[in-house]
Structure 1
């Protein structure tokens, strides 16, 4: 299970279950079969992620969406190739486990042990994937670009975080009577904007260096910073199961101080990093020190009751200023290519879309929640265009639409929320559907928004002539 028994990376409130001596003996006895299960599951995940990302690429959609959809296909919602022992699922529900049982003549008890053990290994790999993902996002977040766009991006980002968070949380509690902690977590999932998706579309449109493009990308970077802080606060709140204002203030101050402190000490860290890299002569002289720093920062973030991903993100921001940054960017890509798809596919694999089947009466509430979240997700970002001031003729629609896609950051929220047990199935799947739809609709509508501006400009020029 995703952080259910042995690890508590995202949810420190989950009590680890200590295996009995008998269970440990059985696990050791069947360790070769557990390895076989892990290898088969990884083969399934990598094939699914590759097919999904390639199809998405050919359809001009972000590859990450293809990986998510592929996970849904191979997971509990469809083929049952990659499933996890949560929500009442058993080894008998897994196609891969059934095949292993037939090949190795396993008893039902032994099969259950193999199933749970291999699921834990895959979950740990997925956790490493999300840490590496946030480290990579930190490396891609240019602090110098933040300074260039200035106050406009800050205002857009703050509005883009506050409006959907407040509206989503309040709406879920008032309209759907969702408990406070899950509602806050779902509201937090509405906050962040995908830098990668937005930047890709702006680059294709030739608008990356425009005023609108600079504001969108700069605000998306700040959104990610604010989103990670929000995630750290909300996920940490889930550990106690209640809202303590003093604890909230402590977490916000801690998260902000941790991130800002890391950045302020960036010069020292970069000097030390560069000095170490120059003295190393064997393979991995850059990537190994980088990951030592990233994993230590992740550990430090977790140790002070924040989140490991906040530490990984801070490490990326710090090393972004190092002399070896360009080379590090290239070195981290194959590692991210290997681990990050495991996270996205497993998130999709855990999403039981059956809970949104409208023919089942008890599922209709979840479907309504999904519609509500999508509406808030779109509206909460569209209003950001009207937060821009002092720039005449700015394309406010383009800015608002450019902030809509949630992408990989939204999936991080969904995965962590499900892993910690905060989100029930309808709410988890509703968040994933929100992520999929906002990421799908944003690119074409961003093209339309800039296209309309171009037509208006042409018409004005023709009238002037």
Structure 2
């Protein structure tokens, strides 16, 4: 999805071939104006939304998502995309540019298509950087130490909601196999960032429940990204082929494990290279080169670019430069990642769940079904723990519920691939919002009910 290709492709519907290059060149300043105005709207929405969420003691990412809903197709029509069936005349930004530059309707449409393509590419870049950052935060040392309990909890927390969601959508709602599998996969995620924050606030991060939850959430991330890579590849094929599914699973697992195993060798090279470079960016630029190469390889072997970015983060997590890299990537992520979250919200048309319209009621039932499966499918994980007396099983289950930013990655990629229809896409987003809203207060209640339990007892794993 390069810009010049996008411009040429979109204009080819309206103009003879000899005029394409000339028209694109003439409109380039206006396309840039459209991109800049859209970014202004996205950044203002992102910052206002995250600040409001923070003051309400909610995850900032939820504020960005809700702000995206407000500026998007559900409300203000400031950030909209042609994939949703909209034209340039539907965009308030395009209307302003048309008035300022006296554009023809055809020119407005071509500019709208091109600037939307640029914003979409930036959003995709944002999700790659987000997965790179998540990989950096997923401590492999902790993964090796959490023990069998966290592995069992994670596997149950992935398998149960995935199977229940997929089969339920196909049996009760007659959803086609590929969209049902994608929605089921979105139910597997667990947001380690949100859960860790609440556990830390409660002073339970080092408790036996807290260690199991955090360890299982890290493993969930790994399993979830593998599942996402597989189902996204299935969406590209358009059909479920058992041999292809087996190939994708083996490829994803082999790619991830291979990257981790070879990470020790690469880390030595990375540290040696960083030591020799003397100009600005001596750490962050090589790190991004590695992340983008890994993302390219993931895409080239018919998996997802995000799997490669996530693997790159896991590898560099064990580097001696990890702490400095963590700090350097934050301002870059702060600049690019909000574009992804806001555009996910902007694409969500909440009007498709309006119960006053009879044809929307099926979509509303799907949303309720996904929320129930999302909660129940994680609550059962508490009963997967064995061999530890007096364990707070409810707290473990509740701690696995929030989907947060990881769930939004599923929704965003599903929307971009075209595999999800509007009701299913919005249902997934509502599931992400509700599970992320509900988990923190429920986790506080769950731990409040077990004050008599000795939380300082050593973990037996």
Partner of 1:134: 131
- Which of residues 62, 67, 76 is equivalent to 1:65? 62
Alignment of 1:277-292 (within 5 A): 277-292=274-289
SS in 1 for 2:41: helix
SS in 2 for 1:248: helix
Partner of 1:257: 254
Q: Is the 2:72–2:346 Cα contact (8 Å) retained in structure 1? A: yes
Pairing 1:338–2:317 present = no
Pairing 1:301–2:298 present = yes
1:271-296 residue CA offsets vs partner (Å, 9 max, x unmatched): 01001100000000000000000000
1:128-155 residue CA offsets vs partner (Å, 9 max, x unmatched): 0000000000000001111221111100
What is the alpha-carbon distance in structure 2 between the residues aligned to residue 217 and residue 254 of structure 1?
27
Change (3 A) 1:268 1:303: same
What is the alpha-carbon distance in structure 2 between the residues aligned to residue 371 and residue 34 of structure 1?
40
1:139-180 residue CA offsets vs partner (Å, 9 max, x unmatched): 000011112211111000000000000000000000000000
SS in 1 for 2:103: coil
Q: Is the 2:84–2:347 Cα contact (8 Å) retained in structure 1? A: no
Q: Please report how far the alpha carbon of residue 3 of structure 1 lies from its aligned counterpart in structure 2 after TM superposition.
A: 10
Pairing 1:182–2:200 present = no
Partner of 2:457: none
Structure 1 segments (4+ residues) deviating >4 Å: 2-7, 16-19
What is the alpha-carbon distance in structure 2 between the residues aligned to residue 367 and residue 27 of structure 1?
43
What is the alpha-carbon distance in structure 2 between the residues aligned to residue 18 and residue 96 of structure 1?
19
Q: Is the 1:34–1:117 Cα contact (8 Å) retained in structure 2? A: yes
Alignment of 1:244-393 (within 5 A): 244-393=241-390
RMSD of aligned residue pairs (Cα, Å): 1.5
Q: Is the 1:73–1:349 Cα contact (8 Å) retained in structure 2? A: yes
Partner of 1:461: none
Pairing 1:148–2:145 present = yes
What is the alpha-carbon distance in structure 2 between the residues aligned to residue 233 and residue 439 of structure 1?
25
Change (3 A) 1:152 1:4: farther
Partner of 2:402: 405
Q: Is the 2:11–2:110 Cα contact (8 Å) retained in structure 1? A: no
SS in 1 for 2:351: helix
- Unpaired stretches in structure 2, ≥5 consecutive residues: 455-461
Pairing 1:43–2:40 present = yes
Q: Is the 2:3–2:114 Cα contact (8 Å) retained in structure 1? A: no
Q: Is the 1:129–1:343 Cα contact (8 Å) retained in structure 2? A: yes
- Unpaired stretches in structure 1, ≥5 consecutive residues: 8-15, 459-465
SS in 2 for 1:410: helix
What is the alpha-carbon distance in structure 2 between the residues aligned to residue 79 and residue 441 of structure 1?
27
TM-score for the superposition, normalised by structure 1: 0.94
Q: Is the 1:76–1:82 Cα contact (8 Å) retained in structure 2? A: yes
1:101-137 residue CA offsets vs partner (Å, 9 max, x unmatched): 0000000000001101100110110010000000000
1:37-63 residue CA offsets vs partner (Å, 9 max, x unmatched): 000000000000000000000000000
Deviates more, 1:133-142 or 1:23-32: 23-32
Q: Please report how far the alpha carbon of residue 27 of structure 1 lies from its aligned counterpart in structure 2 after TM superposition.
A: 2.0
TM-score for the superposition, normalised by structure 2: 0.95
- Which of residues 416, 425, 429 is equivalent to 2:413? 416
Q: Please report how far the alpha carbon of residue 26 of structure 1 lies from its aligned counterpart in structure 2 after TM superposition.
A: 1.9
